[in-house]
């Protein structure tokens, strides 16, 4: 079957420094894939290459078999790939409901004329309420998003990311800055909302990575040094040496 995402010979340089140094990676449909690696390894850059924010210096990214070369991030988004950001990316003065409704509108905006959209407003409301239910924020529906707790804001952001119905979801450090209990809460939520979807995430918390991911890639200095099932990656001496030994130790 065609992979959901396929990176081939992907390279990215900023001026003379090569940050992504020839990445080949296939992520199957329905897989939950984590990209891990030390600070500065190029994880965010890889994310930005996949989502079209950066153009590769060479190589290609395919989404469901289609080459994404030259496409803008919003075009890639409309092809079914949606991402969250490391920084919280919500409208704090708008209600929780409006934040979700807005992203639904945006994702459908190009497909429907204004009048169609007005007549579809009930669908949008129902759609937004369904998402609020999925992310457990129904009770917070009419509050300004800015008054939510940090974990709730991150949950809202996940809701915004999935609102358009994308089948490839990319999350950049979804549990950054969270307590243990908040992390557990968000991990459950991610598991639930990415059911039957492809998930690609960058994550530093090894508990989250090993609890959620079906497959893991380890990026070190712009190269994938290992990719495979969590237990394979965990036992790989190269990975132990380059990253995981230190990262797991830091957790304890």
Ligand X SMILES: Nc1ncnc2c1ncn2[C@@H]1O[C@H](COP(=O)(O)OP(=O)(O)OP(=O)(O)O)[C@@H](O)[C@H]1O
Residues that bind ligand X (CB under 6 A): 14, 19, 37, 39-45
- Phi-psi bin for 81: left (phi > 0), alpha (psi -120 to 50), beta? beta
Distance of closest approach, residue 86 Cβ to ligand X, in angstroms: 7
Q: Which residue's CB is nearer to ligand X, number 35 or number 189?
A: 35
Least Å distance between CB 41 and ligand X? 4
Question: Of 240, 76, 51, nearest to 10 (Cα)?
Answer: 51
Residue closer to ligand X, measured from CB, 128 or 239: 239
User: Residue 224 CB, nearest distance to ligand X (Å)?
Assistant: 12
3-state secondary structure of 11: strand
**CB nearer ligand X, residue 84 or residue 107:** 84
To ligand X, the closest distance from the beta carbon of 14 in angstroms equals: 3
CA 91, CA 85: separation in Å to the nearest integer? 14
Structural tokens at position 208: 């989250």
The CA distance from 72 to 48, in Å, is 11
- Give the tokens for residue 32: 């939950």
> What angle, 0 to 180 degrees and rounded to 10, lies between the N-to-C axes of helices 150-163 and 121-134?
130
Cβ of residue 217: shortest distance to ligand X, in angstroms?
12
Q: Which candidate, 32, 26, 76, 33, places its Cα nearest to that of 51?
A: 76
Nearer to ligand X, 117 or 176 (CB): 176
d(CA 171, CA 183): 14
CB closer to ligand X, 15 vs 111: 15
């Amino acid at each position: 079957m065609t992979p959901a995402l396929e990176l081939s010979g992907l390279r990215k340089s900023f001026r003379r420094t090569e940050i992504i140094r020839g990445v080949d990676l296939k992520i199957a449909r329905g897989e939950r894939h984590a990209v891990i690696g030390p600070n500065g390894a190029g994880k965010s850059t890889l994310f930005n290459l996949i989502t079209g924010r950066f153009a590769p210096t060479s190589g290609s990214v395919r989404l469901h078999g289609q080459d994404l070369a030259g496409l803008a991030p919003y075009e890639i988004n409309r092809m079914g790939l949606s991402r969250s950001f490391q920084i919280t990316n919500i409208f704090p003065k708008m209600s929780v409901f409006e934040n979700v409704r807005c992203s639904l509108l945006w994702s459908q905006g190009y497909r429907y004329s204004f009048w169609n959209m007005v007549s579809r407003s009930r669908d949008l409301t129902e759609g937004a309420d369904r998402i609020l239910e999925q992310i457990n924020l129904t009770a917070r529906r009419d509050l300004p998003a800015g008054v939510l707790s940090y974990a709730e804001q991150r949950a809202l952001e996940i809701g915004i990311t999935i609102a358009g119905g994308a089948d490839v979801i990319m999350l950049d450090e979804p549990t950054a800055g969270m307590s243990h209990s908040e992390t557990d809460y968000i991990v459950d939520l991610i598991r639930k909302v990415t059911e039957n979807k492809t998930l690609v995430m960058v994550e530093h918390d090894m508990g989250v990575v090993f609890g959620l991911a079906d497959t893991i890639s380890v990026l070190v200095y712009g190269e994938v040094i290992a990719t495979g099932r969590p237990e394979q990656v965990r036992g790989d001496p190269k990975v132990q040496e380059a990253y995981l030994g230190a990262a797991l130790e830091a957790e304890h």
